[in-house]
């Protein structure tokens, strides 16, 4: 698992080809408040049942509110054979603070 700051993720998203999947593991109400552009919502509790829907070869940036749930999901994904996972350290709270100050927060 790679652990990147919000600014490092921003740079990576701008330069990566192909673009990684942004996997938002928060709850739907949290996603409705704010989310990163292009993020796919898949709440943490649904990850085990949805493994077949995810490509273990695709790079993905895993996102939550503060980076704790996403860290756990990254570890779970690694154990399931996903080798290209990135945890957004500090979550969307850090993204709003460091990259997109206009993003609503909660």
Tell me the catalytic residues.
64
User: Which helix (DSSP H) or strand (DSSP E) does residue 61 occupy?
Assistant: strand 60-63
Q: Round the CA-based radius of gyration of the chain to a whole number and report it.
A: 13
Q: How far apart are CA 86 and CA 104, in angstroms?
A: 23
């Amino acid at each position: 698992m790679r652990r990147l700051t919000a600014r490092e993720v921003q740079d990576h998203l701008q330069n990566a080809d192909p673009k990684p999947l942004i996997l938002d593991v928060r709850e739907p109400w949290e996603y409705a408040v704010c989310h990163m552009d292009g993020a796919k919502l898949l709440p943490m509790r649904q990850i085990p049942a949805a493994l077949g829907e995810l490509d273990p070869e695709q790079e993905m940036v895993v996102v939550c509110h503060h980076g704790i749930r996403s860290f756990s999901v990254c570890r779970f994904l690694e154990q399931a054979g996903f080798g290209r996972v990135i945890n957004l350290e500090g979550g969307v709270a850090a993204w709003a603070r460091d990259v997109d100050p206009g993003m609503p927060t909660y």
